[in-house]
Amino acid sequence: MRSHAVETPRVPGHDGAMRTAPGVPPWLAFADRALGLLVAVPAALLVLAEVVLLFWGVCARYAFHDPLVWGDELAAILFLWLAMTGAATALHRSAHMRMTALVNRASDDWRQRWDTVALVATMVFLGLIALPAYAYLKQQWMIVTPALEINDAWRVISILYATGCMLLMCLVKLLARGWRAALAGIVVSAVVVIGLELAGPVLQSLGNLNLLIFFVGVVGFTVLSGMPIAFSFGLAVFSYLALSTAMPLEIVVSRMDEGMSQLLLLAVPMFVFLGLLIEMTGMARAMIGFLASLLGHVRGGLSYVLVGAMYLVSGISGSKAADMAAVAPILFPEMKQRGEKPGELVALLSATGAQTETVPPSIVLITIGSVTGVSISALFTGGLLPGFVLAFALCMLVWWRSRARAPLSATRAGAGVIGKAFIAAIPALALPLVIRFAVVEGIATATEVSTVGIVYAALAGIFIYRRFDLRRLGPMLVETAALSGAILIIIGTATAMAWALTQSGFSHSLATFMEGLPGGAIGFMAVSIVMFVVLGSVLEGIPAIVLFGPLLFPIAREVGIHEVHYAMVVILSMGLGLFSPPFGVGYYGACAVSKIHPDEGVKPIIGYMIALLIGIVVIAAVPWISTGFLPTR
């Protein structure tokens, strides 16, 4: 799942743009490039180091029966560095999740103003968090790791390093707008901070009304202004604790560290990298070629191939952007030649993105398991059939829409062609089985198994498909780090926000309200579907899961809903919101991948969204679809 609301404030300097922007002083362009290298190079090397370390751990334990007792400890240290340098790389490369639907509708002048507001708000958060990060670093200075016996400060200092780099990046980008914009931004920031500080005594007297002010007002304003969602959450929780409570502010950094440092989440960068690798090695093309040889000659045949290909590729990569980027460029040219309208193509691509949210190893599945305590293996097992049910619903709609079309000119592939395509696709089709076998047989954990897939894909690319471009390896590592950092820092700041909401008593009030809904489990499930469709369109899946998962999953258990069943309904509901226009940012990601204007897909996508909603209702009504293949307790 790549972050679809991607873009930091649109200023010169992302991916080298500042170096060629007119009117930007050379020293600013140099500073921008230097700051990018200071985070991107170590981030890429850390991804590679984690792959090597995890795979080495698998080999040491399973092949040589000599486990690395210090392996998890070193992986945890490197992981926080990867998360923070990756987040800084994402800021430099415009890869943070943002809500840009409203900002993009503004005129150019107002868009620039809102971008400046978002940039300044990001600077405010980074500046305010620096001192608490230093205080937290001093707290961790006395802690020594048990296996490696090194100071935990070497892990935590990554937060301070990345925060400093990101703050300098924002300052460089603000200066690149001109001294007037920079001065105005600094003055506005100072006024806001001073105003809030002066309002502190009043805010402390308001009690839980502050939840509305900070977690609705501040979050709503900053998210709608285009501020990266991660920093919006962080600014809200920091302001809430600083101005309306007496709690030490190091707690914000501590909770961010807790959220980002769960080793289960190390699967996120590993599966992102695997997704990029299968596209680079040609494995995705081989799978799609086989499906096209089977169905390409029937009415709507390539649409069925698109649905099936997204299901298969998603089961390997876990990254929605990687899925769409692997499938669309291969199928869309031929589909257009056969008369498919561009709007229909992007609508179906978006629908398949929502359909495959539960197909393992989905990053959302990994996230939901890490924050709610649900077994990731159970989620992986339970996610296959719900994705298939939605695929069937989409295929039924494809059949209905294509039933009256004239016969296609494409000829049926012969047995020989299908056989050759199948043989070529066997290594690619076997990859999900290899991953599943490694987990079931105890060869690797859910975190480590991604490295087994990476090594398998690399060997298949080198020796079978003869496609392994070493020149692309560096950019792939950087892209993996940036995307992973954008995801992980959202988990960190959302964890801090969820903690603040829990401490305020909001979680207890929410639980009481949800438990009191009429209809028991049915009413709770219906409200959850509606709520997560809305949250999916506004916040995307991961922030919504981290915020509300720990609050709602215990309630689901209380009303008798199986946690895996509830997880599937929640994830698919968020996927429906994520890929539904006008606010669903995943839809715009599909448009960007397919290079089709968003307006063309708005009308065709309505039918697909209705089909998905019907499928979600069926999955919610029939728990067996999600739990039927789970081992009995």
Using H for helix, E for strand and C for coil, what is the string for 229-280? HHHHHHHHHHHHHHHHCCCCCHHHHHHHHHHHCCHHHHHHHHHHHHHHHHHH
* pLDDT above 80 for 323: no
349: left (phi over 0), alpha (psi -120 to 50) or beta: alpha
Alpha-carbon gap, residue 347 to 579, rounded angstroms: 9
Alpha-carbon gap, residue 430 to 437, rounded angstroms: 10
Alpha-carbon gap, residue 274 to 54, rounded angstroms: 14
* pLDDT above 80 for 31: yes
Q: What is the mean pLDDT of residues 134-148?
A: 91
* pLDDT above 90 for 40: yes
Q: Does 122 or 313 have the greater pLDDT score?
A: 122
**Residue 174 binned pLDDT confidence (cut-offs 50, 70, 90):** confident
Most confident region among 13-17, 263-267, 303-307, 403-407 by mean pLDDT: 303-307
Burial of 212 (0-12, 13-18, 19+ CB in 10 A): exposed
Q: Return the domain boundaries, the chain.
A: 14-263, 338-405+505-633
Q: What is the mean pLDDT of residues 315-333?
A: 71
Q: What does the DSSP assignment read for 155-198?
A: HHHHHHHHHHHHHHHHHHHHHHT-HHHHHHHHHHHHHHHHHHHH
Alpha-carbon gap, residue 125 to 32, rounded angstroms: 20
Phi then psi for residue 248, to 5 deg, are: -65, 140
Q: What is the mean pLDDT of residues 167-191?
A: 80
Evaluate whether 348 touches 402 at the Cβ level (below 8 Å). Answer: no
Burial of 534 (0-12, 13-18, 19+ CB in 10 A): middle
pLDDT at 39: 97
Q: Which residues are bridge partners to 412 per DSSP?
A: none
Q: Of the given ranges (41-55, 198-212, 441-455, 569-583), which has the lowest mean pLDDT? A: 198-212
